[in-house]
Protein backbone atom coordinates (compact mmCIF):
# COMPACT_ATOMS: atom_id res chain seq x y z
CA UNK A 1 0.00 0.00 0.00
CA UNK A 2 1.07 3.58 -0.62
CA UNK A 3 1.89 5.66 2.46
CA UNK A 4 -1.03 7.82 3.59
CA UNK A 5 -1.26 11.23 2.02
CA UNK A 6 -0.90 13.86 4.72
CA UNK A 7 -1.80 17.51 4.72
CA UNK A 8 0.27 20.38 6.00
CA UNK A 9 -0.26 19.54 9.68
CA UNK A 10 0.87 15.95 9.12
CA UNK A 11 -2.54 14.40 9.93
CA UNK A 12 -3.86 11.89 7.39
CA UNK A 13 -6.49 13.47 5.17
CA UNK A 14 -10.07 12.42 5.64
CA UNK A 15 -10.04 10.84 2.23
CA UNK A 16 -7.22 8.46 3.10
CA UNK A 17 -8.70 7.38 6.38
CA UNK A 18 -11.97 6.74 4.63
CA UNK A 19 -10.20 4.76 1.93
CA UNK A 20 -8.58 2.41 4.41
CA UNK A 21 -11.87 1.90 6.18
CA UNK A 22 -13.50 1.29 2.82
CA UNK A 23 -10.98 -1.42 2.02
CA UNK A 24 -11.47 -2.99 5.42
CA UNK A 25 -15.25 -2.95 5.14
CA UNK A 26 -15.09 -4.29 1.61
CA UNK A 27 -12.76 -7.10 2.64
CA UNK A 28 -14.91 -8.04 5.63
CA UNK A 29 -18.11 -8.13 3.64
CA UNK A 30 -16.41 -10.12 0.90
CA UNK A 31 -15.23 -12.56 3.58
CA UNK A 32 -18.66 -12.88 5.18
CA UNK A 33 -20.31 -13.30 1.77
CA UNK A 34 -17.81 -16.01 0.87
CA UNK A 35 -18.63 -17.89 4.07
CA UNK A 36 -22.36 -17.52 3.46
CA UNK A 37 -21.94 -18.75 -0.10
CA UNK A 38 -20.59 -22.10 1.10
CA UNK A 39 -23.94 -23.61 2.18
CA UNK A 40 -25.59 -22.21 -0.96
CA UNK A 41 -23.06 -23.86 -3.22
CA UNK A 42 -23.17 -27.14 -1.33
CA UNK A 43 -26.96 -27.05 -1.58
CA UNK A 44 -27.04 -26.34 -5.29
CA UNK A 45 -24.34 -28.90 -6.15
CA UNK A 46 -25.75 -31.69 -3.99
CA UNK A 47 -26.86 -33.77 -6.99
CA UNK A 48 -23.26 -33.82 -8.22
CA UNK A 49 -21.83 -35.18 -5.01
CA UNK A 50 -24.54 -37.65 -4.04
CA UNK A 51 -26.18 -40.38 -6.03
CA UNK A 52 -29.51 -38.84 -6.94
CA UNK A 53 -30.12 -41.13 -9.88
CA UNK A 54 -29.37 -44.79 -9.53
CA UNK A 55 -30.82 -48.17 -10.22
CA UNK A 56 -31.00 -50.30 -7.14
CA UNK A 57 -30.12 -53.98 -7.19
CA UNK A 58 -33.20 -56.14 -7.75
CA UNK A 59 -33.81 -59.55 -6.26
CA UNK A 60 -34.20 -62.50 -8.64
CA UNK A 61 -34.50 -65.36 -6.21
CA UNK A 62 -32.50 -67.84 -4.09
CA UNK A 63 -29.20 -68.54 -5.79
CA UNK A 64 -29.72 -72.26 -5.18
CA UNK A 65 -32.53 -72.24 -7.76
CA UNK A 66 -30.04 -71.47 -10.50
CA UNK A 67 -27.30 -73.98 -9.67
CA UNK A 68 -28.24 -76.65 -12.17
CA UNK A 69 -29.87 -74.92 -15.07
CA UNK A 70 -29.83 -76.36 -18.56
CA UNK A 71 -32.14 -73.89 -20.28
CA UNK A 72 -32.50 -70.18 -19.56
CA UNK A 73 -35.06 -69.32 -16.87
CA UNK A 74 -37.31 -66.31 -17.41
CA UNK A 75 -37.85 -64.15 -14.33
CA UNK A 76 -39.87 -61.02 -13.69
CA UNK A 77 -37.98 -58.58 -11.50
CA UNK A 78 -38.98 -55.38 -9.73
CA UNK A 79 -36.71 -52.58 -10.84
CA UNK A 80 -36.42 -49.56 -8.58
CA UNK A 81 -35.00 -46.47 -10.20
CA UNK A 82 -34.19 -43.51 -7.97
CA UNK A 83 -34.65 -40.09 -9.53
CA UNK A 84 -34.01 -37.28 -7.04
CA UNK A 85 -36.77 -37.45 -4.46
CA UNK A 86 -38.81 -40.12 -6.22
CA UNK A 87 -38.45 -43.69 -7.32
CA UNK A 88 -40.04 -45.55 -10.15
CA UNK A 89 -40.83 -49.19 -9.79
CA UNK A 90 -41.32 -51.22 -12.91
CA UNK A 91 -41.42 -54.89 -13.85
CA UNK A 92 -38.75 -56.15 -16.20
CA UNK A 93 -38.11 -59.55 -17.73
CA UNK A 94 -34.64 -61.07 -17.41
CA UNK A 95 -33.19 -64.48 -18.24
CA UNK A 96 -30.97 -66.38 -15.86
CA UNK A 97 -28.70 -68.59 -17.92
CA UNK A 98 -25.18 -70.00 -18.12
CA UNK A 99 -22.11 -68.78 -19.95
CA UNK A 100 -20.06 -71.23 -21.99
CA UNK A 101 -17.73 -71.35 -19.00
CA UNK A 102 -20.62 -72.58 -16.86
CA UNK A 103 -21.08 -69.59 -14.61
CA UNK A 104 -24.50 -68.10 -13.94
CA UNK A 105 -25.28 -64.93 -15.83
CA UNK A 106 -28.31 -62.70 -16.23
CA UNK A 107 -29.42 -61.36 -19.61
CA UNK A 108 -31.75 -58.50 -20.38
CA UNK A 109 -34.65 -59.65 -22.53
CA UNK A 110 -34.54 -56.41 -24.54
CA UNK A 111 -33.43 -57.15 -28.08
CA UNK A 112 -30.33 -55.11 -29.04
CA UNK A 113 -31.88 -54.59 -32.47
CA UNK A 114 -35.03 -52.52 -31.85
CA UNK A 115 -36.00 -53.43 -28.34
CA UNK A 116 -38.53 -56.24 -28.63
CA UNK A 117 -38.68 -58.85 -25.93
CA UNK A 118 -36.55 -61.84 -26.87
CA UNK A 119 -38.09 -65.27 -26.18
CA UNK A 120 -36.44 -68.64 -25.46
CA UNK A 121 -37.52 -71.03 -28.19
CA UNK A 122 -37.43 -74.47 -26.60
CA UNK A 123 -37.57 -76.39 -29.89
CA UNK A 124 -34.68 -74.50 -31.49
CA UNK A 125 -32.76 -74.30 -28.19
CA UNK A 126 -31.94 -70.69 -28.82
CA UNK A 127 -33.29 -67.20 -28.11
CA UNK A 128 -35.49 -65.83 -30.89
CA UNK A 129 -36.70 -62.29 -31.22
CA UNK A 130 -40.34 -62.26 -32.38
CA UNK A 131 -40.03 -58.97 -34.21
CA UNK A 132 -37.38 -59.39 -36.87
CA UNK A 133 -36.07 -62.84 -36.10
CA UNK A 134 -32.71 -62.21 -34.50
CA UNK A 135 -31.36 -65.39 -32.86
CA UNK A 136 -29.01 -65.80 -29.91
CA UNK A 137 -27.32 -68.74 -28.21
CA UNK A 138 -28.03 -69.95 -24.68
CA UNK A 139 -25.40 -67.53 -23.34
CA UNK A 140 -26.89 -64.69 -25.38
CA UNK A 141 -24.21 -64.79 -28.11
CA UNK A 142 -25.41 -63.44 -31.46
CA UNK A 143 -26.19 -66.20 -33.94
CA UNK A 144 -28.10 -64.54 -36.76
CA UNK A 145 -30.63 -61.92 -37.81
CA UNK A 146 -30.50 -58.15 -37.71
CA UNK A 147 -29.24 -57.69 -34.13
CA UNK A 148 -25.92 -55.79 -34.10
CA UNK A 149 -24.56 -57.53 -30.98
CA UNK A 150 -25.15 -60.26 -28.45
CA UNK A 151 -27.93 -60.01 -25.85
CA UNK A 152 -26.95 -57.64 -23.07
CA UNK A 153 -25.55 -59.15 -19.92
CA UNK A 154 -26.54 -57.43 -16.68
CA UNK A 155 -24.38 -57.01 -13.56
CA UNK A 156 -25.38 -59.72 -11.13
CA UNK A 157 -24.05 -61.16 -7.92
CA UNK A 158 -25.00 -63.45 -5.08
CA UNK A 159 -25.63 -61.73 -1.78
CA UNK A 160 -26.89 -63.57 1.31
CA UNK A 161 -27.70 -66.60 -0.87
CA UNK A 162 -29.89 -64.59 -3.23
CA UNK A 163 -29.14 -63.78 -6.82
CA UNK A 164 -29.47 -60.06 -7.40
CA UNK A 165 -29.15 -58.02 -10.55
CA UNK A 166 -28.77 -54.39 -11.51
CA UNK A 167 -31.09 -53.65 -14.38
CA UNK A 168 -29.89 -51.38 -17.15
CA UNK A 169 -31.00 -50.16 -20.53
CA UNK A 170 -28.55 -50.23 -23.41
CA UNK A 171 -28.47 -48.31 -26.65
CA UNK A 172 -30.06 -50.22 -29.48
CA UNK A 173 -28.73 -50.69 -33.00
CA UNK A 174 -25.07 -50.22 -32.08
CA UNK A 175 -22.48 -52.98 -32.06
CA UNK A 176 -21.06 -51.99 -28.65
CA UNK A 177 -22.86 -52.18 -25.30
CA UNK A 178 -23.64 -48.64 -24.11
CA UNK A 179 -25.57 -47.99 -20.92
CA UNK A 180 -28.33 -45.41 -21.37
CA UNK A 181 -29.95 -45.50 -17.95
Partner 1 sequence: MNEPERGPAPKTGGLFHWFDQRTGIDEILRKSLDEPIPGGARFAYVFGSALLLVFISQVITGAFLALYYVPSADHAHTTVAYIMKQVSAGSFLRSIHAYGSSAMVILLLLHVTQTFLYGSYKGRRELLWLSGCVLFALALCMAFTGYLLPWDQKAYFATVVGTNIAGEIPFVGAWIKNAMRGGVDMGTLTLSRFFVAHVFLVPAAIFSFIALHVYMFRKAGAAGPIHEDPLTPKLPPETFYPRQVVIDALFALVIIAVLAVLSQFLPFDLGPKANPADTRYLPRPEWYYIPIFQYLRYWPSSLSFLGVVVIPGVVAFLFASLPFLDRRMERRPWKRPIAVGAYVFILLALFGLGAVSYRNDRLDPAFATQLLAQQKAAEEFSQQPFELEVSQTSLASSSAAPTDPLVVAGEKLYQAQSCGACHGDTGAGTAAAPKLAGIKTRFSAAALAALLRTPSAKMTAGGMTPVTLPDPDLAALIDYLNSLK
User: 104 is in the binding site of which of ligand FES, partner 1, none (Cβ under 5 to 8 A by kind)?
Assistant: none
- Cα distances (Å, whole numbers) of residue 16 to 7, 28, 139: 11, 18, 82
* Residue 125 interacting partner from partner 1, ligand FES, none (CB closer than 5 to 8 Å by kind): none
Interface pattern 92-131 for partner 1 (x via CB under 8 A): -x----------------xx--xxxx-x---------xxx
Determine contact, residues 115/127, Cβ cutoff 8 Å. no
What's the min distance (Å) between Cβ of 113 and ligand FES?
3
Q: Which is nearer to ligand FES, 110 or 138 (CB)?
A: 110
Return the residue of 4, 6, 11, 21 that touches partner 1, per CB under 8 A.
Answer: 21
**Closest distance between ligand FES and the C-beta of residue 114, in Å?**
4
Residue 138 interacting partner from ligand FES, partner 1, none (CB closer than 5 to 8 Å by kind): none
Binding mask 143-172 for partner 1 (x = CB under 8 A): ------------------------------
Residue 96 contacts residue 60 (beta carbons within 8 Å):
yes
Tell me the backbone φ, ψ of residue 100, rounded to 5 degrees. Answer: -60, -30
Q: How far apart are CA 168 and CA 86, in angstroms?
A: 18
Residues 6+ apart with CB under 8 A from 90: 78, 79, 81
Q: For residue 167, which of 112, 117, 106 has the smallest C-alpha distance?
A: 106
Q: Which is nearer to partner 1, 78 or 99 (CB)?
A: 78
Min CB(158)–ligand FES separation in Å: 30
Integer distance in angstroms from the first to the last C-alpha of the chain?
57
Per-residue x/- track, 59-88, partner 1 (CB under 8 A): -----------------------xxxxxxx
d(CA 14, CA 104): 84
Amino acid sequence: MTPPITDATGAPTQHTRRSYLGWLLGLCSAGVSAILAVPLIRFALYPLTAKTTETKWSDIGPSADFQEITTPIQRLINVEQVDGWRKQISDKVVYVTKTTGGETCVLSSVCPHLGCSVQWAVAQHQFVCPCHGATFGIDGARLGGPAPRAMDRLDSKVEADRLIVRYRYFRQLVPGKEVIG
